[in-house]
Amino acid sequence: MEALDLLFSITSTFFTSLALSLILVFRTLFTRRPSSTIPSNAVSLYQGTVWHERRRPVHHSFRYSVRYALFDLDHAHAPPDHLSADEARQVAQTTGPVLLLTIPPSVGYEQNPLSLYYCYDMDGSARLLKKCIAEDMLGNWNIKANDPTDSLSVFISVQHPELGDYFVASLKAKRLSSVSDHAMFFWLMPHKVALWIYWHALKLWWKNVHFIQHPRYTNPTYREEAMIRDKKLQCNQALAWDRGNCLQADGHHPGNLADRKRWFKWRDAKRPWC
């Protein structure tokens, strides 16, 4: 039954994307109107390269070209299933602008390896990048990112509880000066990313790296366990602040659990790439 569901999903996605692609090409050729209704100052487009390196249990690395959009969430609606500007500010405890780096859906399909929120505070008229928020999985994730201007860079390293320092990835991209049609710019971009990633997943399988099933199929309580792990992390952070005697004037420290609110927003990925 699982195989039949997957086959149906792949077939449905293929024909949906094909039909929407034909409509997109027709509109581009005959209407001569830009597809984006987003103000030009509310979104910036970037083109660059993603690099992945898996170090354990076997070494495997690859790179591919990618296109991203950087949305100013106070002036443009976020793509579906993303945080709003106010939600991101609540998570990051910031007061300034919020930018979202993501790959928008294209012709009915979404595949987004990384969505990154840049959260700023204001210092007079200048904005200061304070925190970045990423959608993470099991493991301790370290992320380094610059303030995106004409270029942006993101570097990620992951410490897995069993495999250790097993994965690193980076994104380097340049901002493009002008793109008239955003839909054509991102045409089939999610599909290309999915095919590239899963082609290398097949190579890893060929190297005897076992496929790890999504925990929802093997552990019905994985969400509750994730909440428990998060509480432990918060406690460890609070203890670290205590040991450093980093207390505020009111006797609390920034890591105080009572002063912190964590944000969980669960959603199931869409097939066929879930």
Averaged pLDDT, 129-152: 85
Q: Is 9 exposed, middle or buried (0-12, 13-18, 19+ CB in 10 A)?
A: middle
User: Would you say residue 256 has pLDDT above 70?
Assistant: no
Total domain count, the chain: 1
Residue-range definition of the domain harbouring residue 135: 2-212
Mean pLDDT over the full length of the chain: 80
Half-sphere CA count of 142, side-chain side, radius 13 A: 8
Say what the pLDDT of residue 250 is: 39
In a domain, 103, yes or no: yes
Amino acid at 174: K
Q: Which of the four pLDDT bands, split at 50, 70 and 90, describes residue 269?
A: low
In a domain, 261, yes or no: no
Say what the pLDDT of residue 176 is: 92
In a domain, 86, yes or no: yes
- Assess contact for 80 and 103: CB atoms under 8 A: no
Q: Which of 19-23, 99-103, 111-115 has the lowest mean pLDDT?
A: 111-115
Which residues, in sequence order, are CB contacts of 120 under 8 Å at separation 6+?
94, 96, 97, 98, 99, 127, 128, 129, 130
Say what the pLDDT of residue 267 is: 64
Longest CA span, the chain? 67
User: Would you say residue 69 has pLDDT above 90?
Assistant: yes
In a domain, 259, yes or no: no
Averaged pLDDT, 115-132: 90
Averaged pLDDT, 31-58: 78
* pLDDT tens digits, one per residue of 102-111: 999 999 888 8
In a domain, 223, yes or no: no
User: Would you say residue 87 has pLDDT above 70?
Assistant: yes
User: Would you say residue 68 has pLDDT above 50?
Assistant: yes
User: Would you say residue 241 has pLDDT above 60?
Assistant: no
In a domain, 228, yes or no: no
Segment of 148-152, 199-203, 249-253 carrying the highest mean pLDDT: 148-152
In a domain, 187, yes or no: yes
Whole-number Å distance between alpha carbons of 142 and 149: 22
Say what the pLDDT of residue 135 is: 67
In a domain, 229, yes or no: no
User: Would you say residue 163 has pLDDT above 50?
Assistant: yes
User: Would you say residue 118 has pLDDT above 90?
Assistant: yes
Q: Which of 26-30, 43-47, 158-162, 254-258 has the lowest mean pLDDT?
A: 254-258
Say what the pLDDT of residue 248 is: 37
DSSP structure string for 1-55:
-HHHHHHHHHHHHHHHHHHHHHHHHHHHHHT---S--S-GGGEEEEEEEEEEEE-
Q: Which two tokens stand for residue 81?
A: 């299933």
Segment of 21-35, 77-91, 127-141, 216-230 carrying the highest mean pLDDT: 77-91
Say what the pLDDT of residue 249 is: 37
